[in-house]
A and B are shown apart, each in its own frame.
Chain A
Amino acid sequence: MKVISLFLLFSLFSGLDLQAQVIEDAWIKKPLPGLKMTAAYMLIVNPTDKELVLEKITGPDALYYEIHTHKSENGIMKMRQLKSIKIAPKSKHELKPMGDHIMVMQTNNELPNKLKTTMTLYFKGQKPKEINLEVKKSL
């Protein structure tokens, strides 16, 4: 009995997790020469009936990963830090240049030479999700 309920519980949770979120087209800008910082972008798809909240990011190629956004007001460009990114049920949220982004700081010396890197995304109430990102030379 105990084993069965544990099994049920497990399959329920793993099933939830599989459906929880989909990350598409994740990429990170190759750091510009002399700079120890860059930004990463991706499309986050939330197929569930519940709001998805991205709260934290970690990774092996930099010391700091933060959620930032850009806005332009009266011709003045502003960058601000966000506590989280909320993705409404059954919707998508795109992190893209000139908009929301993952700011990556104190990058290591290897990152500019890599073709791929990884990040772990922490969504509220969910198991950490490891993703692969393409390192792209971009402006």
Chain B
Amino acid sequence: MKSPIFKTVLLAILFGATLAGVKTYYQYQGSKSETAKLYQNIGGDFSLTHIDGPFDLQRLKGKPSVLYFGFASCPDICPLSLNKLVKAFDAIEPELHKRVQKVFISVDYKRDDAKKVHEYGKYFATDFISLAGTEEQIKDITKKYAVHFEFVPLENSAMKYTVDHTSRFFLLDKYGQVFNSYSDIIYDGQFKLDLIEVLK
């Protein structure tokens, strides 16, 4: 019962609940800068690999970004999420599209490399920034962004293992700071409002 997974899940719930509570409070206060303050503890610098070479948070600065963590051998959740990411931008003016970066990060460091994720991301949008990393790099970034991922063996499957992962979208402002995060960005009106905010 008191397995590490149980503890992680419990921590995640507590973290989520705290975040939600604090967020409501700040929304009540109506202060944008204070909403931002709430996220100052998650996010931060990372180092990963893009098909063109090393890639870190510095590269994302200057424009807002939306990050999604997943893995390429994921048959529907990841494709549907990446498609949502593309579709969600329909909510903003077409000329603003180019000002927001769409980022896909594969947590499956055993199966996915920069080339594979680049090919994958390109399918959804040609300007997708798709990143892969080593075990150490992935552990570092997921810890910083509070993303849970876990390799789960599939005993009798040709797939050998699957990757359980948090399905969440992170909005980063042009300074590379996490502005907000969402479980869904198509039906979440807040995402559109936040997007307009970070594009100011």
Find chain B residues with CB under 8 A from A37 CB.
73, 75, 159
Find chain B residues with CB under 8 A from A38 CB.
75
Q: Are A35 and B159 in contact (CB under 8 A)?
A: no
Chain A: residues with Cβ within 8 Å of the partner, total of 30
Q: Are A105 and B167 in contact (CB under 8 A)?
A: no
Find chain A residues with CB under 8 A from B162 CB.
78-80
Which of these, B73, B77, B158, B183, contacts A98 with CB under 8 Å? B77
Q: A33-B123, A66-B157 are in contact. Are A76 and B165 (CB under 8 A)?
A: yes
Which of A4-12, A15-23, A46-54, A67-75 is near enough to bind chain B? Answer: A67-75
Which of these, B83, B120, B165, contacts A34 with CB under 8 Å? B120
Residues on A lying within 8 angstroms of B by beta carbon are: 29, 32-35, 37-39, 63-64, 66, 68, 70, 72-81, 97-98, 101, 103, 105-106, 139
Q: Are A76 and B164 in contact (CB under 8 A)?
A: yes
Chain B: residues with Cβ within 8 Å of the partner, total of 35
Q: Does B76 contact A (CB under 8 A)?
A: yes
Which of B22-30, B53-61, B148-156 is near enough to bind chain A? Answer: B148-156
Which of these, B76, B119, B152, B165, contacts A39 with CB under 8 Å? B76
How far does the alpha carbon of A74 sit from the alpha carbon of B12 in the complex, in Å?
Answer: 8
Find chain A residues with CB under 8 A from B166 CB.
75-77
Pairs A-B, 8 closest by C-beta atoms: A64-B158, A39-B75, A34-B119, A139-B83, A97-B76, A139-B79, A79-B162, A78-B164
